Structure 1
Amino acid sequence: MTALRYVYALCFPLGAPLQEQMKGIGGAPTEELEHHGLVAVVSDVPEEDFAETPLKAHLEDLDWLAATARAHQHVIDVLTGVTTPLPLRLATVFRDDSGVRSMIEDREDDFRHALERLEGRVEWGVKVYMDDRQTDTAEDNITATKATSGRDYLRQRHTRTMAHDELWGKAEEFARRLHTTLSSHAEDARLHTPQSATLSRAAGRNVLNAAYLVARGRSEEFVELVDRTGDDSPGIRVELTGPWAAYSFTGLTEGET
């Protein structure tokens, strides 16, 4: 079975060998491929799965995609614990080590600049959700009395709309205030498109989906800030995730990371 070279991330040379237990896709051991003062963290993957044609088919298989993404993220997470990695996009594959070296040479200045800018920094994710059940409860209270006329119906409908807008308005205003506060305590921030509840499977509607670049040494302070600025309003939930590799702040385009 022919093997291809899968690249997880780039980083500067590590001060110590990678952990022996750090496995990649399919349980394959990861390796360090150093070139021009940069290190590509790689492992072997089977050509029968990662060549162009089978890979396209696999990317339509959600179970295969999820398992591959988990293995990819595991390597990034381990690296984030010991260095500042520049994560590459899922399924970055080359025929052999010379292909990996060519990739490094082609983008060496960009890769080096990104690593220098992100050195010692991690990404924290913050999401704000509004529980849909709060809206449903408010609307149920309004409609408890049956409309007795067309005018009554229109009045109730208008009141339901106003209650809905008020509830979401409170959540959006809280999200704006929180983002302003957290941005002032981070080195950089990114607003991402709110996630669909169908895809994320999270309870409630995603009002804020943001990422913050924070120095490792200030991460504890940042986490405490998120905890302090949480909202007591019914139905508003703040979710903090991280620390992650700085996916949102590489400065490289989507197709290059």
Structure 2
Amino acid sequence: MDETAIYVYGIGRDLPAEAVAGVRGVAGAPVRALEAEGLTAVVSPVSLAEFGEDALRRNLEHLDWLEATARAHHAVVDAVAERGVIVPLGLATVYRNEDRARAALRERREEFARALARITGRTEWGVKIYADLAETAPRERKPAPADARPGTAYLRRRSAQRHDEEETRREILTLAGDVDDELCAIAATRRLHRPQDPQLSGERGWMILNAAYLVDDERAEDFRTAVARLAGTRPELRLQLTGPWAPYSFAAEEEAWTER
């Protein structure tokens, strides 16, 4: 049989038994709870032939493998999050055995406790804001003087066009900032992510904002309503709301693999 390691999906506390009952993880392996220091690691066995240090480094370069692993990882976190509070860990957080996984819980107990306190009773919502500058109405410009040379007139038109584009961008950014301010007033906290390239997002236009908001569960409806209202009153912007999600953006980061 292949030598195995322990894959950790996330950290919880006082998780009910049904939170992991029947849940399958990476490679279809059964998920279970591993207890230590009053914390619960949600884990499953994985093969070192696939998740050992060298093998993992190679596999992370294969998109099909990476996508399948990420889907399994997120499915476990989402399933557990429906029944309890879990701090999601990074993709491919692997320990060589249960003793090392328990040691990590002991060493990082305070860090995980703070993260659990931060996310308890809250969920993550994502908001992306797009603007299509090509569809923005052009500004009315003064005609070039009648005696202007063709080359001079062209340069003046190009200069005016660049000025209009810069002015439009500033106005759009100000509007997006106002939207973000209103949403931040509802959310407990917010994290900004790097805007996605249109080729990756599949959306037309310029992504101005890519943000994650941690929202108290009792304010979730207020948050959704605010996004809908802001979308209706900001025709220059296109708002996209996703969620609720397990709070990936607000959990402690983990490296894919370190020697443990």
**TM-score calculated relative to the size of structure 2:** 0.87
The equivalent residue for 2:131 is 130
Q: What stretches of structure 2 of length at least 5 have no aligned partner?
A: 142-148
In structure 1, the residue corresponding to 2:170 is in which secondary structure?
helix
The alpha-carbon distance between structure 1 residues 138 and 64, as it changes in their structure 2 partners (threshold 3 A), is farther
CA distance in 2, matches of 1:32, 1:83: 12
Task: Please report how far the alpha carbon of residue 18 of structure 1 lies from its aligned counterpart in structure 2 after TM superposition.
Answer: 2.6
In structure 2, the residue corresponding to 1:6 is in which secondary structure?
strand
Contact kept? 2:196, 2:207, Cα under 8 Å: yes
Matched, 1:64 2:52: no
Which of these two proteins has the greater Rg computed from alpha carbons? 2
Contact kept? 1:13, 1:34, Cα under 8 Å: no
The alpha-carbon distance between structure 1 residues 46 and 73, as it changes in their structure 2 partners (threshold 3 A), is same
CA distance in 2, matches of 1:72, 1:232: 38
Contact kept? 1:89, 1:255, Cα under 8 Å: yes
**Partner amino acid, structure 2, of 1:150:** G
CA distance in 2, matches of 1:254, 1:151: 58
**Partner amino acid, structure 2, of 1:37:** G
The equivalent residue for 1:45 is 46
- Supply the RMSD in Å over aligned alpha carbons: 2.5
Matched, 1:181 2:150: no
Aligned counterparts, 1:16-27, within 5 A: 16-27=17-28
Contact kept? 2:86, 2:116, Cα under 8 Å: yes
The equivalent residue for 2:228 is 227
Contact kept? 2:9, 2:77, Cα under 8 Å: yes
CA distance in 1, matches of 2:12, 2:159: 57
The equivalent residue for 2:216 is 215
CA distance in 1, matches of 2:176, 2:84: 32
Deviation per CA, 1:124-143: give whole Å up to 9, x if none: 111101125426x859x99x
In structure 1, the residue corresponding to 2:40 is in which secondary structure?
strand
Q: What stretches of structure 1 of length at least 5 have no aligned partner?
A: 143-147
Task: Please report how far the alpha carbon of residue 191 of structure 1 lies from its aligned counterpart in structure 2 after TM superposition.
Answer: 2.3
Task: Please report how far the alpha carbon of residue 198 of structure 1 lies from its aligned counterpart in structure 2 after TM superposition.
Answer: 3.4
Aligned counterparts, 1:103-252, within 5 A: 103-131=104-132, 133-134=134-135, 149-231=150-232, 236-250=237-251, 252=252
Task: Please report how far the alpha carbon of residue 254 of structure 1 lies from its aligned counterpart in structure 2 after TM superposition.
Answer: 5.6
Task: Please report how far the alpha carbon of residue 79 of structure 1 lies from its aligned counterpart in structure 2 after TM superposition.
Answer: 1.9
CA distance in 1, matches of 2:78, 2:109: 23
CA distance in 1, matches of 2:213, 2:196: 17
The alpha-carbon distance between structure 1 residues 170 and 63, as it changes in their structure 2 partners (threshold 3 A), is farther
CA distance in 2, matches of 1:219, 1:54: 42
In structure 1, the residue corresponding to 2:19 is in which secondary structure?
coil
In structure 2, the residue corresponding to 1:125 is in which secondary structure?
strand
Contact kept? 1:231, 1:237, Cα under 8 Å: no
CA distance in 1, matches of 2:7, 2:107: 17
CA distance in 2, matches of 1:222, 1:43: 35
**TM-score calculated relative to the size of structure 1:** 0.87
**Partner amino acid, structure 2, of 1:13:** D
